[in-house]
């Protein structure tokens, strides 16, 4: 006898997803997938790489051996919605690459609740590790199907100027990636240098999302887990290998307080770097993606571009 789907709800977490008792997952937001493309107006080109785990963007080339800083971008969406391949994020990355003149790799990780955390962290780390293999020293590696070199990275990236950035849950993942990269054994090698990270409206949790975080991350150590609330772990903050951190907040963001706490903790941790914060008045969480053409989104973009082009 075939059992019919039931409408009985087991877990309900708006605005992200609902889980029914028969195991079905209903997302409240479904993104529009777009293919990689070449923009003939800006000269930016894109393609999917590393078994479709990321989308790579190349700015307009004016010299044959031209080198650019590298931006590694990680999308948000509460760890459970959105994609690097969505129309919104693809358009946003095209814009960043055009304005900042960087090579960018936008990571696509598997989503909760089908893939519980820490899957998103491990997927993102895998892409970063693959990217780091393109440093000059890796000419001596024995290549496999998993470590095939990507010419856009190999030929056009200055690996002494790597930046990581992301919004919301993506900013959370970015911080964990830098913590992993800061381990004493130098897992990404000497030639792969993370100059700075930009955290846009980071998802560092609060009491309102405690139940949600516990559901998608059953292995976590509560809301003070170092991956959810890094401000509670000064030793990890003090050892970050990047030289600059840029934190973006929004006045009406329900996650704003943890962003401010992170900023204060990083300043007090003994970390040997520079941290800056920019708050947008009158705006809510990730407003710059919801209204990318508004004046305040343009100001946020301008500061991002400046950050990626600063001499660090």
* Torsion on CA atoms 6, 9, 10, 15, rounded to nearest 10: 130
CB 87 within 8 A of CB 76: no
For the chain, what is the mean pLDDT?
Answer: 93
Here the tokens at position 196 are 């700075």
Q: Which residues are catalytic?
A: 168, 253, 285
| Residue ranges of the chain whose pLDDT lies below 70 | 1-5, 136-147
Here the tokens at position 91 are 């358009």
What is the per-residue pLDDT for 223?
74
Domain ranges of the chain: 109-309
Classify domain 109-309 by CATH architecture. Answer: 3-Layer(aba) Sandwich (3.40)
Phi, psi of 46 (to 5 degrees): -140, 155
User: Would you put residue 247 in left (φ > 0), alpha (ψ -120 to 50) or beta?
Assistant: beta
Q: Determine the 3-state secondary structure of 104 from DSSP.
A: strand
CB 110 within 8 A of CB 123: yes
- Would the pTM of this model clear 0.75, i.e. be above it? yes
59-83 tens-digit pLDDT: 999 988 899 999 999 999 999 999 9
194-245 tens-digit pLDDT: 999 999 999 998 877 789 999 999 999 877 899 999 999 999 999 999 999 9
């Amino acid at each position: 006898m075939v059992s019919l789907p039931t409408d009985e709800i087991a877990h309900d977490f708006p605005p992200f997803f609902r889980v029914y008792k028969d195991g079905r997952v209903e997302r409240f937001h479904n993104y529009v997938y777009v293919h990689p493309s070449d923009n003939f107006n800006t000269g930016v080109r894109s393609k999917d790489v590393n078994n479709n785990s990321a989308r790579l963007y190349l700015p307009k080339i004016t010299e044959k051996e031209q080198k650019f800083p590298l931006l590694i971008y990680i999308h948000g969406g509460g760890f459970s919605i959105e994609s690097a391949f969505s129309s919104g994020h693809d358009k946003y990355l095209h814009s960043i690459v055009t304005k900042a003149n960087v090579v960018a790799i936008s990571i696509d990780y598997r989503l909760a609740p089908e893939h519980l955390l820490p899957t998103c962290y491990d997927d993102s780390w895998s892409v970063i590790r693959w990217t780091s293999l393109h440093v000059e020293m890796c000419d001596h590696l024995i290549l496999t199907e998993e470590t095939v070199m990507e010419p856009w990275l190999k030929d056009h990236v200055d690996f002494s100027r790597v930046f990581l950035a992301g919004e919301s849950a993506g900013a959370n993942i970015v911080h964990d990636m830098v913590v992993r990269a800061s381990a004493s054994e130098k897992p990404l090698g000497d030639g792969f240098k993370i100059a700075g990270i930009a955290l846009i409206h980071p998802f560092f949790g609060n009491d309102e999302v405690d139940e949600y975080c516990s559901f998608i991350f059953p292995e976590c150590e509560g809301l003070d887990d170092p991956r959810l609330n890094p401000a509670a772990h000064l030793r990890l903050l003090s050892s970050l290998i990047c030289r600059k951190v840029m934190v973006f907040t929004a006045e009406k963001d329900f996650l704003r307080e943890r962003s401010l706490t992170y900023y204060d903790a990083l300043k007090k941790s003994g970390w040997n770097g520079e941290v800056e914060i920019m708050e947008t008045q009158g705006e809510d969480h990730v407003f710059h993606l919801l209204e990318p053409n508004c004046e305040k989104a343009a100001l946020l973009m301008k500061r991002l571009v400046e950050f990626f082009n600063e001499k660090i």
